[in-house]
Amino acid sequence: MYIESYLKTADLILSNYTGKMPFAPWLRDFFKQDKKYGSRDRKVISHLCYSFFRLGGAFPDYSLKDRVSVGQFLTSESSSLILEAINPDWNKKVAFSLDEKLAYLNAADQKLAVFPWLGELSEEIEANTFAASHLLQPNLFLRVRPGYEERVMTQLVKENIEYNQPIPFTVSVDNGTKADQLFDLDIEVVVQDLSSQQVIHPLIEVMPDKNAVFTAWDCCAASGGKSILLHDTYPKAKLTVSDVRQSILHNLAVRFERAGIKSYSSQVLDVSAAEFELREKFDLVLCDAPCSGSGTWGRTPEQLHFFRIQQIDHYSNLQRKIALNASQQVKKGGYFLYITCSVFKKENEEVVACIQKNTALQLLTTRYYKGYHQKADTLFTALFTL
């Protein structure tokens, strides 16, 4: 009986969620309003909801309840009482590969349907693998800050936490790991996706001296993750950060204080504005542009249901304005690093072409960090010099 109750609650949640705010905080608010759900109840119901979202555009003719059930089958990697109650035969086949499960359902054509905007993808993205990756929950990645390597590894072993190290100073753990209970966040480790940690690599290739002294401007700093990464890589860089709202910079300042970053300047700037003007120029301009986030929807699969194709043009136009304005602040001989967490060519290759056409910057390299092979996000970078 409780299984049916879980399914009814998931149906209620999915019928009332409108996509106007991220699903995770919306769901937390839902559970806060009704105290009858224990921790196990919340975990099971959450998984049912996320299983539905992970289907994206697949199985469009199924009812909501049937999509929740199919989603549970396709996204589960081990048997469960929930799946046993839904369909005992599915529970027996839960260890099948995704292709085997789809073949069993006579639905092999639905794999590509998971991601409804394949026509907008960059040609560098493997559509089949990328679409299928949304059916799996991404891992949690922790970047170990300088000087804390031994402490972090000792703590993981002590707590019997299974982990991998995909690249140096990075650990990958199960998404359900309570990192904030294991470590001092932003002091010992930074919660930062694997691909996000690597976007600075093109810069390291042209600036290998980690003790280099230079000026850097993070023009769309947001929560400051890239700035902390830049500081940890180049501790002598003189950092300036900006964003469009004071509240964002306030939160960033709190995070910087925890991270021990004290010597920096900060200001509210709308870099997309037609009247944008900044007198100072920098050796490095880091432009982590606002974007669709389509390379991160494995973490927010509700976007597979609520994103609209018209938004791609909105972000692409915004990125062009920001990139063209920000690029004017690069010193001669300096660098401009353009970053998005998008897989859409309009937000990446077409913006790069716009920069090449309308500025004196010279393109050095473009690169996709294809996290869908490693339960991680997919990001894009383009490095220019003047």
What pTM was computed for the model?
A: 0.95
pLDDT of residue 259: 96
pLDDT of residue 1: 54
Among candidates 313, 384, 314, 333, which has minimal Cα distance to 355? 384
Blockwise average pLDDT, block size 10, the chain, 386 residues: 86 95 95 87 94 97 95 93 92 94 96 96 97 96 97 96 95 94 97 97 97 97 96 97 95 96 95 95 98 97 97 98 98 98 98 98 98 97 98
First to last CA, the chain: 67
Among candidates 299, 124, 277, 332, which has minimal Cα distance to 196? 299
Among candidates 301, 378, 375, which has minimal Cα distance to 344? 378
pLDDT of residue 3: 83
Q: Which runs of E-coded beta strand occur in 235-281?
A: 238-243, 264-268
d(CA 199, CA 383): 10
260 Rama class: left (phi>0) / alpha (psi -120 to 50) / beta: left
Q: Which amino acid is at 144?
A: V
pLDDT of residue 34: 81
Structure-block tokens of residue 269: 């700037």
